[in-house]
Structure formats: C-alpha cells, structure tokens
C-alpha cells in the first residue's frame, strides 16, 4: 500500500468517525419530537425500561422504533431516500404508486370473497329490517380506477370496479345502487381527485351529487349557484404522508358556498357541541387540511336546516361523504350522519326513533372493502 492510499483511507476513516460521532452527539442533544407534520402521525417516544419488558421482548422493538422516529434530520433523510427511489425508477412505496404528473395513487388490495359476502349480506339484512326506508348505496371508485392513465408504466392492478359491480349485482333489487363511475370517468381530465390525498376533490363530489340527484329525484343546484372559494394551495394529504415520496406539488382545496345562503345548525351529538358552519376553517393551518370539512369524522352528527319539506336523510359513511354533504342541505329538513367506525348504538332503533325517510350508504371502494364495521349493519 503506497503513501497516498494510506492517506486516503485514514482521511475516509476520520470523516466517517466524525460523521458518526457528530450524528450521535446531535441525537443526544436534540429534544424528542411528539408529532411529524410531513408523516401526519405521532412519533414513538422513549419506552420505559423494565426487566419484564426486556425478557418479554417488548422493550427492544419499541426502542428501535423510538430511535428511528427520533433520528436527527429524519425528514431530510426521508426526502433523500425518496429522490433516490424515484431516480432508480421505483414505482411503489407502502401501498402507494407514484404516477405520472406527480399523482400518488393508492393501491387497491383484492378483498377476501367471504368478507365481501358478509358485507353484502349485512346490507341486505338491514334493508329487510327497515322496509319503509328508501335505501341508496354509492360506492365511489378511487383515483386508481378513474385515473388509470396516471399509473406508472407496466403496473398490473387489481380491478376495483369489478368488485364494485359484484356488490351492485348482489344487493336486494329494492336497494338503489348509484353508479358514479361513468360520470367520474367522463370528467377524468378535470381536477376531481387530489394528487397527494386519497379523497376526491369538492368538484369530484359535486359530479357525484348530480348523479345522486337523479336517483333521489330532486333538482340539483347548478354549479353557477355556488361561490367557489379556494381556501388553500398547500395541502399535502394522506398519500403524501404514507408513501414518503417528496418534492411533489401540493394540492388546493375548494369549498362551494351557495350564493343564496341556507340557514342550518350542526350538532356534534357525542361531543355535545353545536356549530353554525360545516367547515372548521382553522384546520387549514394544520397538516390534515381535509378536516376543514366537519372537523373530520364523528360518530353522530345532526344537521337541521330551514327546509320545510320534512324529509329526513340518514347518511352512513366514511370521510368521502364529508365533501359531498354540503350540497344536500337545500334538499332535506334533517340530515343525520353516522360513521360506523365510531358509532356503537343500534342503527335500527335510531331509524325508528328519528323517523328516517331515506338512507344513503356512501363509501369509497377502498374503505368499503377494508372496513369491517360495515357488517355491524346486521346487528
């Protein structure tokens, strides 16, 4: 080994030692963070040591998660990994595809046949138990079915629409299935899904509202009757947090406010809170800006409007409904909103007590096939 090789290796070893020592010192001196804005989740905190936790092999995994979550400049390293992944042509991370034009698309996982059958049976049983309630179902295809042209090349994807059709064909014929695939597909060149989030945009929800009006037999409000307000241009959604891909343009969020104001009251029943607005505008300052709609998800919400037609609607839903519900205010006297993931009371008794006329089951397809709480309908 010549003199230059020795100098090179010693210099390299010295630089590596300085880097490791520096990072070790920074990690010790840096205070722990409680929350990651970019990942939209709570970070692991230092686990409490005990001999029992150590022997039961609980301490070491928790400590490894703690070190990973609290590592200095974590966001920088994640961003660097994202750049490397994209450079080498990686197409998927953590169940999210990085598509064309900067779109992030949530992968659809094939559901188990028995799970699908159980949910269909639960819906049919619920219908038979409530024969006087006109029932509608809307299963919304996610972006991966509508924006197939945005998928990366050579990606083979399970057909989400096939499973939606399976549900449609298996339902009791008296249940009204609202197929929004055609109208969403015809508008796929418009901004109807967020790029960084799994939800549809307010415009996408508006097109579904038009389809809903045909099935529920009410006259929809034309788009010209709304004041469309852009409330943010810096929304990074759930898929951005989940995938870890960085250097992607943020989304914007719009709300459609009727030019002729409708008086209403929103009761968050379980929280014992009342509001005069469907929107929590302070959430625009937070990471999860989609919670501007209804301040997120709740077990039970009741909207009472000035409409005197006496019609009462129950919406059983996931978060996709949050952007569509504001369009329904002018068509019903009362709208009751239930999220089965958090609601524990008997739904049949709720319908009888509140004299519900119509019910809308509204889910995006991905949540519908993954969420087991839907089977609670038959209980």
Q: What is the pLDDT along the chain (379 residues), one digit of tens a residue?
A: 566 666 666 777 777 666 566 555 655 666 666 554 554 545 566 667 667 666 666 666 665 665 555 555 556 555 656 666 655 556 888 889 999 988 999 999 999 999 999 999 999 999 999 999 999 999 999 999 999 999 988 777 779 999 999 999 999 999 999 999 999 999 999 999 999 999 999 999 999 999 999 999 999 999 999 999 999 999 999 999 888 787 889 999 999 999 988 899 999 999 999 999 999 999 999 989 999 999 999 999 999 999 999 999 999 999 999 999 999 999 999 999 999 999 999 999 999 999 999 999 999 999 999 999 999 998 7
Task: Identify whether the C-beta of residue 172 lies closer than 8 Å to the C-beta of residue 128.
Answer: yes
Q: Does any domain span residue 82? A: no
pLDDT score, position 67 = 57
Task: Identify whether the C-beta of residue 336 lies closer than 8 Å to the C-beta of residue 357.
Answer: no
Q: Does any domain span residue 86? A: no
d(CA 340, CA 326) in angstroms, rounded, equals 20
32 plus 134 within the same structural domain:
no
11 plus 116 within the same structural domain:
no
Q: Does any domain span residue 273? A: yes
132 plus 184 within the same structural domain:
yes
365 plus 276 within the same structural domain:
yes
Range of the domain at 131: 104-378
Q: Does any domain span residue 129? A: yes
Strands (E), the chain: 35-36, 41-42, 92-93, 96-98, 104-106, 134-140, 176-177, 226-235, 251-258, 264-268, 273-275, 300-305, 312-317, 334-338, 358-364
d(CA 49, CA 58) in angstroms, rounded, equals 10
136 plus 69 within the same structural domain:
no
- 59, 77, 95 - which closes a domain: 77
Whether this model's pTM surpasses 0.85: no
155 plus 50 within the same structural domain:
no
114 plus 62 within the same structural domain:
no
Q: Does any domain span residue 259? A: yes
Q: Does any domain span residue 91? A: no
Q: Does any domain span residue 96? A: no
52 plus 139 within the same structural domain:
no
Domain count, the chain: 2
54 plus 110 within the same structural domain:
no
Beta bridge partners of 312: 334
- 58, 77, 96 - which closes a domain: 77
337 plus 241 within the same structural domain:
yes
211 plus 297 within the same structural domain:
yes
pLDDT score, position 39 = 47
Q: Does any domain span residue 87? A: no
336 plus 208 within the same structural domain:
yes
């Amino acid at each position: 080994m010549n003199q230059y090789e020795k100098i090179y290796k010693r210099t390299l070893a010295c630089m590596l030692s300085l880097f490791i020592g520096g990072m070790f010192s920074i990690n010790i001196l840096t205070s722990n963070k409680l929350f990651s804005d970019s990942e939209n989740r709570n970070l692991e905190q230092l686990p409490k040591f005990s001999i029992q936790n150590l022997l039961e092999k609980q301490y070491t995994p928790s400590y490894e998660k703690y070190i990973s979550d609290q590592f200095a400049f974590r966001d920088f390293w994640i961003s660097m990994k994202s750049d490397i992944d994209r450079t080498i042509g990686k197409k998927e991370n953590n169940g999210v595809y990085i598509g064309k034009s900067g779109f992030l698309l949530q992968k659809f996982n094939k559901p188990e046949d028995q799970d699908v059958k159980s949910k269909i049976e639960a819906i049919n049983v619920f219908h038979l138990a409530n024969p006087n309630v006109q029932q509608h179902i809307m299963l919304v295809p996610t972006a991966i079915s509508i924006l197939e042209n945005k998928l990366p090349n050579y990606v083979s994807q399970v057909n989400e629409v096939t499973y939606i059709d399976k549900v449609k064909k298996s339902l009791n014929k008296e249940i009204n299935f609202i197929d929004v695939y055609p109208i969403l597909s015809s508008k796929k060149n418009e901004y109807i899904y967020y790029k960084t989030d799994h939800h549809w945009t307010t415009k996408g929800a508006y097109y579904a509202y038009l389809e809903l009006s045909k099935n529920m037999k009410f006259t929809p409000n034309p788009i010209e009757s709304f004041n469309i307000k852009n409330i943010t241009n810096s929304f990074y959604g759930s898929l951005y947090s989940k995938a870890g891909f960085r250097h992607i343009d943020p989304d914007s969020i719009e709300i459609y406010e009727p030019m002729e104001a409708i008086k209403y009251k929103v009761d968050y029943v379980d929280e014992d809170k009342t509001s005069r607005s469907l929107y929590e505008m302070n959430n625009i300052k937070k990471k999860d800006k989609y919670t501007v709609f209804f301040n997120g998800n709740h077990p039970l919400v009741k909207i009472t409007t000035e409409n005197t037609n006496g019609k009462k609607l129950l919406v059983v839903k996931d978060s996709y409904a949050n952007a569509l519900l504001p369009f329904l205010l002018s068509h019903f006297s009362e709208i009751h909103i239930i999220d089965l993931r958090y609601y524990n009371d008997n739904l049949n008794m709720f319908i009888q007590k509140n004299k519900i006329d119509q019910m809308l089951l509204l889910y995006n397809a991905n949540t519908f096939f993954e969420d087991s709480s839907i089977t609670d309908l038959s209980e």
